[in-house]
Structure 1
Amino acid sequence: MKKSLLVLPVLLSFALTACTGTEVTSNPDNKPAASKGQEAPPKEEGARAKIGDTITLDSGEDGLKLEVTVVKVVPSAKPKDEFNVPEPGHRFAAVQIRLKNVGSTTYDDSPGNGAQLIDDEDQQYGEGLNEIALGASIGTSVKLAPGSSRKGYLVFSVPKKVKPTKFQFTLDSGFGPQAGEWLLK
Protein backbone atom coordinates (compact mmCIF):
# COMPACT_ATOMS: atom_id res chain seq x y z
CA MET A 1 0.00 0.00 0.00
CA LYS A 2 2.86 2.41 0.83
CA LYS A 3 4.49 1.84 -2.57
CA SER A 4 1.29 2.74 -4.42
CA LEU A 5 0.98 5.95 -2.39
CA LEU A 6 4.54 6.89 -3.37
CA VAL A 7 3.89 6.19 -7.06
CA LEU A 8 0.66 8.22 -7.20
CA PRO A 9 2.35 11.69 -6.99
CA VAL A 10 4.80 10.69 -9.72
CA LEU A 11 1.97 9.55 -12.02
CA LEU A 12 0.01 12.75 -11.36
CA SER A 13 3.09 14.80 -12.17
CA PHE A 14 3.48 13.02 -15.55
CA ALA A 15 -0.23 13.46 -16.31
CA LEU A 16 -0.12 17.20 -15.61
CA THR A 17 3.03 17.62 -17.69
CA ALA A 18 1.42 15.81 -20.65
CA CYS A 19 -1.67 18.04 -20.48
CA THR A 20 0.11 21.38 -20.89
CA GLY A 21 -1.44 21.75 -24.35
CA THR A 22 -0.69 23.88 -27.37
CA GLU A 23 -1.13 27.64 -27.49
CA VAL A 24 -3.00 28.82 -30.61
CA THR A 25 -1.92 32.21 -31.90
CA SER A 26 -3.44 34.17 -34.75
CA ASN A 27 -1.33 37.30 -34.24
CA PRO A 28 0.70 38.01 -37.39
CA ASP A 29 4.30 39.16 -37.15
CA ASN A 30 5.05 42.80 -37.96
CA LYS A 31 6.34 43.12 -41.50
CA PRO A 32 9.26 45.40 -42.33
CA ALA A 33 8.34 48.47 -44.36
CA ALA A 34 9.33 48.64 -48.03
CA SER A 35 11.32 51.85 -47.45
CA LYS A 36 14.79 51.41 -46.02
CA GLY A 37 15.14 52.52 -42.41
CA GLN A 38 11.40 52.75 -41.71
CA GLU A 39 9.52 50.33 -39.52
CA ALA A 40 6.12 48.99 -40.45
CA PRO A 41 3.32 50.27 -38.27
CA PRO A 42 2.55 47.72 -35.56
CA LYS A 43 -0.36 45.38 -36.20
CA GLU A 44 -3.58 46.31 -34.44
CA GLU A 45 -4.14 44.69 -31.07
CA GLY A 46 -6.20 41.57 -31.74
CA ALA A 47 -5.44 41.57 -35.48
CA ARG A 48 -5.92 38.12 -37.00
CA ALA A 49 -3.46 36.61 -39.44
CA LYS A 50 -4.73 36.24 -42.98
CA ILE A 51 -3.40 35.15 -46.37
CA GLY A 52 0.02 36.72 -46.89
CA ASP A 53 0.78 37.09 -43.17
CA THR A 54 3.63 35.40 -41.33
CA ILE A 55 3.49 33.87 -37.86
CA THR A 56 6.71 32.81 -36.12
CA LEU A 57 6.27 29.54 -34.25
CA ASP A 58 8.47 27.99 -31.59
CA SER A 59 9.12 24.28 -31.44
CA GLY A 60 9.40 21.99 -28.45
CA GLU A 61 13.04 21.59 -29.52
CA ASP A 62 15.57 24.10 -28.19
CA GLY A 63 16.63 26.56 -30.86
CA LEU A 64 14.04 25.60 -33.48
CA LYS A 65 11.85 28.45 -34.70
CA LEU A 66 10.04 28.82 -38.05
CA GLU A 67 8.41 31.72 -39.82
CA VAL A 68 5.27 30.29 -41.44
CA THR A 69 3.51 32.27 -44.17
CA VAL A 70 0.24 31.35 -45.87
CA VAL A 71 1.04 32.44 -49.44
CA LYS A 72 -2.08 31.36 -51.33
CA VAL A 73 -5.32 29.43 -50.88
CA VAL A 74 -7.06 27.53 -53.67
CA PRO A 75 -10.55 26.44 -52.54
CA SER A 76 -10.99 24.12 -55.51
CA ALA A 77 -7.73 22.75 -56.95
CA LYS A 78 -7.49 20.48 -59.98
CA PRO A 79 -5.74 17.12 -59.48
CA LYS A 80 -2.32 16.66 -61.06
CA ASP A 81 -3.46 13.61 -63.05
CA GLU A 82 -6.31 11.13 -63.50
CA PHE A 83 -4.91 8.82 -60.80
CA ASN A 84 -4.83 11.48 -58.10
CA VAL A 85 -8.50 12.42 -57.61
CA PRO A 86 -10.66 13.20 -54.58
CA GLU A 87 -13.27 10.70 -53.45
CA PRO A 88 -16.84 11.15 -54.77
CA GLY A 89 -18.57 14.20 -53.27
CA HIS A 90 -15.24 15.82 -52.36
CA ARG A 91 -12.83 18.30 -53.95
CA PHE A 92 -9.24 19.27 -53.31
CA ALA A 93 -8.53 22.50 -51.45
CA ALA A 94 -4.91 23.63 -51.31
CA VAL A 95 -2.92 25.98 -49.10
CA GLN A 96 0.47 27.17 -50.30
CA ILE A 97 2.85 27.87 -47.41
CA ARG A 98 6.40 29.14 -47.03
CA LEU A 99 8.53 27.88 -44.16
CA LYS A 100 11.69 29.75 -43.14
CA ASN A 101 13.97 28.44 -40.41
CA VAL A 102 14.86 31.45 -38.24
CA GLY A 103 16.17 29.31 -35.39
CA SER A 104 19.57 27.86 -34.64
CA THR A 105 18.87 24.15 -35.28
CA THR A 106 17.73 22.18 -38.33
CA TYR A 107 14.02 21.67 -38.99
CA ASP A 108 13.36 18.05 -39.96
CA ASP A 109 9.67 17.14 -40.13
CA SER A 110 6.66 16.41 -42.31
CA PRO A 111 4.73 19.71 -42.52
CA GLY A 112 1.45 17.98 -43.39
CA ASN A 113 1.38 16.25 -40.00
CA GLY A 114 0.83 19.60 -38.30
CA ALA A 115 -1.59 21.11 -40.84
CA GLN A 116 -5.37 21.42 -40.44
CA LEU A 117 -7.94 23.07 -42.71
CA ILE A 118 -11.09 24.25 -40.90
CA ASP A 119 -14.40 24.82 -42.66
CA ASP A 120 -17.36 27.15 -42.09
CA GLU A 121 -19.00 24.50 -39.89
CA ASP A 122 -15.89 24.26 -37.63
CA GLN A 123 -14.95 20.82 -38.91
CA GLN A 124 -11.28 20.18 -39.56
CA TYR A 125 -9.49 18.18 -42.22
CA GLY A 126 -5.97 16.77 -42.17
CA GLU A 127 -3.63 17.05 -45.11
CA GLY A 128 -3.76 14.27 -47.69
CA LEU A 129 -0.83 13.12 -49.77
CA ASN A 130 -2.29 14.39 -53.02
CA GLU A 131 -0.72 16.32 -55.88
CA ILE A 132 -2.43 19.20 -57.69
CA ALA A 133 -1.88 20.72 -61.14
CA LEU A 134 -0.98 24.18 -59.78
CA GLY A 135 2.42 23.22 -58.44
CA ALA A 136 4.57 21.13 -56.17
CA SER A 137 3.53 19.95 -52.75
CA ILE A 138 5.76 21.02 -49.89
CA GLY A 139 6.73 17.38 -49.44
CA THR A 140 6.45 14.74 -46.79
CA SER A 141 9.98 15.16 -45.47
CA VAL A 142 11.37 18.68 -45.21
CA LYS A 143 14.82 19.48 -43.84
CA LEU A 144 15.71 23.14 -43.39
CA ALA A 145 19.06 24.36 -42.11
CA PRO A 146 18.98 27.66 -40.19
CA GLY A 147 18.29 30.45 -42.69
CA SER A 148 16.80 28.11 -45.33
CA SER A 149 13.24 28.21 -46.64
CA ARG A 150 10.84 26.02 -48.59
CA LYS A 151 7.52 26.75 -50.36
CA GLY A 152 4.83 24.36 -51.55
CA TYR A 153 1.22 23.24 -51.36
CA LEU A 154 -0.58 21.24 -48.70
CA VAL A 155 -3.64 19.51 -50.20
CA PHE A 156 -6.84 18.65 -48.35
CA SER A 157 -9.82 16.59 -49.51
CA VAL A 158 -12.99 18.38 -48.38
CA PRO A 159 -16.72 17.92 -49.09
CA LYS A 160 -17.80 19.95 -52.13
CA LYS A 161 -20.33 22.03 -50.16
CA VAL A 162 -18.08 23.31 -47.36
CA LYS A 163 -16.14 26.56 -47.37
CA PRO A 164 -12.60 26.55 -45.91
CA THR A 165 -12.33 29.46 -43.45
CA LYS A 166 -9.19 28.84 -41.35
CA PHE A 167 -5.82 27.14 -41.61
CA GLN A 168 -3.82 25.93 -38.60
CA PHE A 169 -0.18 24.88 -38.55
CA THR A 170 1.75 23.36 -35.65
CA LEU A 171 5.41 22.35 -35.53
CA ASP A 172 6.70 19.03 -34.19
CA SER A 173 4.28 16.97 -36.34
CA GLY A 174 1.34 18.71 -34.70
CA PHE A 175 2.59 18.35 -31.11
CA GLY A 176 4.48 21.66 -30.77
CA PRO A 177 3.81 24.21 -28.03
CA GLN A 178 2.34 26.74 -30.51
CA ALA A 179 -0.08 26.58 -33.40
CA GLY A 180 -0.56 29.40 -35.87
CA GLU A 181 -4.04 30.15 -37.22
CA TRP A 182 -4.86 32.13 -40.37
CA LEU A 183 -8.24 33.39 -41.61
CA LEU A 184 -8.81 32.43 -45.25
CA LYS A 185 -11.34 35.14 -46.11
Structure 2
Amino acid sequence: MATALVPALLLSLTACQSSTAGPEPAPRTNGKAAAAVPAGVGDTADVGGSRFGEHLRISLRGFVDPAVPTKAARRPAAGHRWVGVNLRLVNVGGAAYEAPLTKAWIVDEHGRKHPAVTSGEVTTGFPLSGKSLQVGDDSEGWLAFEVPYGSRAVRLHCTVGSQERNWQL
Protein backbone atom coordinates (compact mmCIF):
# COMPACT_ATOMS: atom_id res chain seq x y z
CA MET A 1 0.00 0.00 0.00
CA ALA A 2 2.83 2.43 0.88
CA THR A 3 4.57 1.72 -2.44
CA ALA A 4 1.40 2.74 -4.32
CA LEU A 5 1.20 6.07 -2.43
CA VAL A 6 4.77 7.17 -3.24
CA PRO A 7 4.26 7.44 -7.05
CA ALA A 8 0.92 9.22 -6.53
CA LEU A 9 2.57 11.70 -4.10
CA LEU A 10 5.43 12.38 -6.53
CA LEU A 11 2.97 12.90 -9.37
CA SER A 12 0.98 15.43 -7.33
CA LEU A 13 4.15 17.34 -6.34
CA THR A 14 5.28 17.49 -9.97
CA ALA A 15 1.88 18.86 -10.98
CA CYS A 16 2.30 21.72 -8.48
CA GLN A 17 5.43 22.86 -10.31
CA SER A 18 3.73 23.44 -13.65
CA SER A 19 5.15 26.26 -15.77
CA THR A 20 1.69 27.26 -17.01
CA ALA A 21 0.74 28.87 -13.69
CA GLY A 22 1.14 32.41 -15.08
CA PRO A 23 3.74 35.06 -15.75
CA GLU A 24 6.57 35.65 -13.34
CA PRO A 25 6.64 38.97 -11.51
CA ALA A 26 8.72 41.71 -13.10
CA PRO A 27 12.28 41.92 -11.78
CA ARG A 28 12.94 44.63 -9.20
CA THR A 29 14.85 47.63 -10.53
CA ASN A 30 16.17 50.81 -9.03
CA GLY A 31 13.93 52.87 -11.32
CA LYS A 32 16.52 53.43 -14.06
CA ALA A 33 14.96 50.91 -16.47
CA ALA A 34 11.55 52.57 -16.22
CA ALA A 35 13.12 55.91 -17.11
CA ALA A 36 14.32 54.54 -20.47
CA VAL A 37 10.83 54.74 -22.01
CA PRO A 38 9.45 58.23 -21.41
CA ALA A 39 5.75 58.80 -20.89
CA GLY A 40 3.93 61.80 -22.33
CA VAL A 41 1.58 64.60 -21.33
CA GLY A 42 -1.40 63.05 -19.56
CA ASP A 43 0.58 60.08 -18.24
CA THR A 44 1.17 59.12 -14.62
CA ALA A 45 4.17 57.48 -12.95
CA ASP A 46 4.45 55.94 -9.49
CA VAL A 47 7.74 56.32 -7.66
CA GLY A 48 9.01 55.27 -4.26
CA GLY A 49 11.01 57.57 -2.06
CA SER A 50 14.24 57.07 -0.21
CA ARG A 51 12.51 56.16 3.07
CA PHE A 52 10.19 53.29 3.98
CA GLY A 53 6.53 54.08 3.23
CA GLU A 54 7.20 56.90 0.76
CA HIS A 55 5.30 56.45 -2.48
CA LEU A 56 4.34 59.28 -4.80
CA ARG A 57 2.14 59.32 -7.89
CA ILE A 58 3.17 62.05 -10.39
CA SER A 59 0.97 63.06 -13.34
CA LEU A 60 2.09 65.44 -16.09
CA ARG A 61 -1.15 67.24 -16.88
CA GLY A 62 0.00 70.04 -19.18
CA PHE A 63 2.87 71.81 -20.91
CA VAL A 64 3.18 75.36 -22.29
CA ASP A 65 6.04 76.86 -24.29
CA PRO A 66 6.49 79.74 -23.84
CA ALA A 67 4.97 80.25 -20.41
CA VAL A 68 4.06 83.82 -19.53
CA PRO A 69 5.25 85.01 -16.09
CA THR A 70 2.75 86.71 -13.78
CA LYS A 71 3.30 90.38 -12.99
CA ALA A 72 4.61 89.48 -9.53
CA ALA A 73 7.13 86.90 -10.78
CA ARG A 74 10.64 87.74 -11.87
CA ARG A 75 11.30 87.72 -15.60
CA PRO A 76 13.48 85.24 -17.52
CA ALA A 77 17.07 86.30 -18.15
CA ALA A 78 17.90 87.98 -21.45
CA GLY A 79 17.94 85.41 -24.25
CA HIS A 80 15.77 82.98 -22.29
CA ARG A 81 12.11 82.09 -22.00
CA TRP A 82 10.07 80.13 -19.51
CA VAL A 83 8.35 76.85 -20.25
CA GLY A 84 5.78 75.50 -17.82
CA VAL A 85 4.59 72.06 -16.80
CA ASN A 86 1.45 71.29 -14.82
CA LEU A 87 1.99 68.48 -12.33
CA ARG A 88 -0.29 66.66 -9.92
CA LEU A 89 1.38 64.90 -7.01
CA VAL A 90 -0.50 62.39 -4.85
CA ASN A 91 0.94 60.73 -1.76
CA VAL A 92 -0.22 57.12 -2.14
CA GLY A 93 2.26 55.77 0.40
CA GLY A 94 2.15 55.23 4.12
CA ALA A 95 4.33 58.17 5.24
CA ALA A 96 4.53 61.93 4.74
CA TYR A 97 6.35 62.92 1.55
CA GLU A 98 8.28 66.06 0.60
CA ALA A 99 7.35 67.26 -2.91
CA PRO A 100 10.32 66.97 -5.33
CA LEU A 101 10.45 70.60 -6.50
CA THR A 102 14.24 70.80 -6.50
CA LYS A 103 14.68 67.59 -8.49
CA ALA A 104 12.86 68.42 -11.72
CA TRP A 105 14.43 69.60 -14.96
CA ILE A 106 13.47 70.37 -18.52
CA VAL A 107 15.87 68.67 -20.91
CA ASP A 108 16.47 70.26 -24.31
CA GLU A 109 17.29 68.56 -27.62
CA HIS A 110 21.02 68.79 -26.81
CA GLY A 111 20.59 66.92 -23.51
CA ARG A 112 21.13 70.03 -21.36
CA LYS A 113 19.14 70.17 -18.13
CA HIS A 114 17.34 73.34 -17.07
CA PRO A 115 16.20 73.40 -13.41
CA ALA A 116 12.89 74.71 -12.12
CA VAL A 117 12.69 78.43 -11.35
CA THR A 118 11.89 78.76 -7.65
CA SER A 119 9.98 82.04 -8.06
CA GLY A 120 8.42 81.04 -11.36
CA GLU A 121 4.73 81.88 -11.33
CA VAL A 122 3.05 81.62 -14.72
CA THR A 123 -0.31 82.95 -15.91
CA THR A 124 -1.63 79.48 -16.78
CA GLY A 125 -2.29 78.59 -13.13
CA PHE A 126 -1.14 78.39 -9.55
CA PRO A 127 2.44 77.35 -8.76
CA LEU A 128 3.07 73.83 -7.46
CA SER A 129 3.33 73.95 -3.70
CA GLY A 130 6.53 72.69 -2.12
CA LYS A 131 4.81 71.58 1.06
CA SER A 132 5.09 68.16 2.61
CA LEU A 133 2.28 65.88 1.48
CA GLN A 134 0.60 63.86 4.20
CA VAL A 135 -0.73 60.37 3.41
CA GLY A 136 -3.58 60.71 0.89
CA ASP A 137 -2.93 64.42 0.19
CA ASP A 138 -2.41 65.81 -3.29
CA SER A 139 -1.00 68.98 -4.78
CA GLU A 140 -1.42 70.34 -8.29
CA GLY A 141 0.25 73.31 -9.90
CA TRP A 142 2.71 74.68 -12.41
CA LEU A 143 6.50 74.63 -12.42
CA ALA A 144 8.42 77.07 -14.59
CA PHE A 145 11.80 76.38 -16.19
CA GLU A 146 14.14 78.87 -17.84
CA VAL A 147 15.24 77.66 -21.28
CA PRO A 148 17.35 79.59 -23.83
CA TYR A 149 15.67 80.78 -27.02
CA GLY A 150 16.71 78.47 -29.84
CA SER A 151 16.57 75.39 -27.59
CA ARG A 152 13.62 73.05 -27.83
CA ALA A 153 12.25 71.54 -24.61
CA VAL A 154 11.84 67.83 -25.33
CA ARG A 155 11.54 66.11 -21.94
CA LEU A 156 10.58 66.63 -18.32
CA HIS A 157 12.96 64.75 -16.03
CA CYS A 158 12.19 64.10 -12.33
CA THR A 159 14.33 62.33 -9.77
CA VAL A 160 12.53 61.12 -6.64
CA GLY A 161 14.64 59.23 -4.14
CA SER A 162 16.80 56.97 -6.30
CA GLN A 163 14.22 56.67 -9.11
CA GLU A 164 14.10 58.71 -12.30
CA ARG A 165 11.07 59.37 -14.50
CA ASN A 166 10.82 61.12 -17.85
CA TRP A 167 7.93 62.52 -19.87
CA GLN A 168 8.14 63.51 -23.54
CA LEU A 169 6.93 67.07 -24.16
Report the TM-score, using the length of structure 1 for normalisation.
Answer: 0.70
Corresponding residue of 2:164? 179
Corresponding residue of 2:117? 128
Corresponding residue of 2:49? 59
Alignment length (residue pairs): 139
- Structure 2: gaps of 5 or more residues: 1-29
Residues 56 and 82 of structure 1, relative CA distance in 2, 3 Å threshold: closer
Corresponding residue of 1:161? 150
Separation in structure 2 between the aligned mates of residue 84 and residue 94 of structure 1, nearest angstrom? 14
Please say if residues 24 and 180 of structure 1, whose CA atoms lie closer than 8 Å, have aligned partners that are also in contact. Answer: no
Residues 77 and 22 of structure 1, relative CA distance in 2, 3 Å threshold: same
Name which one, 1 or 2, has greater alpha-carbon Rg: 2
Separation in structure 1 between the aligned mates of residue 89 and residue 72 of structure 2, nearest angstrom? 30
Among 57, 73, 87, the alignment partner of 2:63 is 73
Please say if residues 24 and 181 of structure 1, whose CA atoms lie closer than 8 Å, have aligned partners that are also in contact. Answer: no
Among 139, 159, 166, the alignment partner of 1:150 is 139
Among 82, 99, 114, the alignment partner of 1:92 is 82
| TM superposition shift of 1:25 | 2.4
Q: For 1:104-134, what per-residue CA distance to the aligned partner results, in whole angstroms no more than 9, with x for missing partners?
A: 001124x321101101111110111211111
Separation in structure 2 between the aligned mates of residue 170 and residue 107 of structure 1, nearest angstrom? 14
Corresponding residue of 2:20? none
Please say if residues 38 and 167 of structure 2, whose CA atoms lie closer than 8 Å, have aligned partners that are also in contact. Answer: yes
- Structure 1: gaps of 5 or more residues: 1-20, 28-46
| TM superposition shift of 1:165 | 0.5
Separation in structure 2 between the aligned mates of residue 86 and residue 50 of structure 1, nearest angstrom? 26
Corresponding residue of 1:119? 108
| TM superposition shift of 1:24 | 5.7
Please say if residues 75 and 163 of structure 1, whose CA atoms lie closer than 8 Å, have aligned partners that are also in contact. Answer: no
Corresponding residue of 1:25? 34
Residues 101 and 82 of structure 1, relative CA distance in 2, 3 Å threshold: closer
What letter corresponds to residue 180 of structure 1 in structure 2?
A: R
What letter corresponds to residue 63 of structure 2 in structure 1?
A: V
Secondary structure of 1:25's aligned partner: helix
| TM superposition shift of 1:22 | 6.6
**Once superposed, what is the RMSD of the aligned Cα atoms?**
1.8
